[in-house]
């Protein structure tokens, strides 16, 4: 993301589902103070904590409650999200630790519906209405839970081009090259 922002003329960015520490938007704002950052979150406790974190960091990131785009009323050069994507069929092996490679923390922040695609589908369906011309949509997904094949077919269905796919550097659960970041634009 840092490399990407250095090479593009980006004026504003929206993060969906910023989580309790709003880590990504706050740390990127520190590196790119001239870009306007907006972050939203559906979970009210996480939202409260994200606002506290912003205050502690004394940084200008607009943070508010929204269910995906329900409270969004402008357009952005970049929209990004690490969406919840863990299919509910993984719940048992994650929560009771029958698969020690997975962990409970991952389940808490990342679980979705039966096939794991509910939020991803809605994001892809609606994000075009909130992207500026030549805007980018960026999404972090773990291919252990949602296959690359499935994602490519959704990008086609919702008329997005896949511009770039790269492996996240951070440790991935379970171990392996599953954690990917997809950068898309509108066809």
Ligand X SMILES: C[S@@+](CC[C@H](N)C(=O)[O-])C[C@H]1O[C@@H](n2cnc3c(N)ncnc32)[C@H](O)[C@@H]1O
Q: Which residues bind ligand X (CB under 6 A)?
A: 16-19, 23-24, 40-43, 46, 66-68, 82, 84, 109-110, 119
- Least distance between ligand X and beta carbon 65 (Å): 8
The Cα–Cα gap between 3 and 83 comes to: 22
- Least distance between ligand X and beta carbon 91 (Å): 15
Which one, 120 or 184, has the nearer CB to ligand X?
120
Distance of CA 20 to the CA centre of its chain: 14
Which one, 93 or 109, has the nearer CB to ligand X?
109
DSSP state of 182: E
- Least distance between ligand X and beta carbon 22 (Å): 8
Q: H or E element: which one contains 13? A: strand 12-16
- Least distance between ligand X and beta carbon 59 (Å): 16
- Least distance between ligand X and beta carbon 148 (Å): 18
Residue nearest to ligand X (CB): 17
Is residue 6 packed enough to be buried (19+ CB in 10 Å), middle (13-18) or exposed (0-12)?
Answer: exposed
Which one, 23 or 177, has the nearer CB to ligand X?
23
Residue 105 in contact with residue 47, Cβ under 8 Å? Answer: no
Which one, 16 or 28, has the nearer CB to ligand X?
16
Which one, 111 or 184, has the nearer CB to ligand X?
111
List strands edge to edge, sheet with 131-142. Answer: 61-65, 36-41, 12-16, 76-81, 131-142, 179-186, 160-167
The Cα–Cα gap between 186 and 112 comes to: 25
């Amino acid at each position: 993301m840092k490399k990407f922002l250095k090479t593009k003329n980006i004026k504003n960015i929206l993060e969906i589902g910023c989580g309790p520490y709003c880590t990504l938007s706050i740390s990127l704002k520190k590196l790119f103070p001239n870009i306007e950052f907006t972050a939203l979150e559906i979970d009210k406790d996480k939202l409260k904590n994200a606002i506290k974190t912003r205050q502690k960091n004394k940084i200008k990131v607009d943070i508010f409650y929204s269910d995906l785009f329900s409270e969004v009323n402008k357009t952005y050069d970049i929209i990004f999200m690490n969406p919840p994507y863990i299919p509910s069929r993984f719940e048992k092996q994650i929560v009771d630790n029958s698969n020690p490679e997975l962990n409970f923390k991952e389940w808490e922040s990342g679980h979705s519906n039966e096939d794991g695609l509910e939020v991803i589908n809605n994001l892809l369906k609606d994000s075009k209405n909130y992207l500026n011309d030549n805007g980018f949509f960026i999404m972090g997904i773990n291919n252990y839970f949602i296959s690359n094949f499935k994602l490519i077919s959704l990008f086609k269905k919702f008329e997005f081009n896949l511009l770039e796919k790269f492996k996240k550097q951070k440790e991935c659960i379970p171990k392996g090259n599953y954690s990917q970041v997809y950068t898309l634009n509108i066809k």
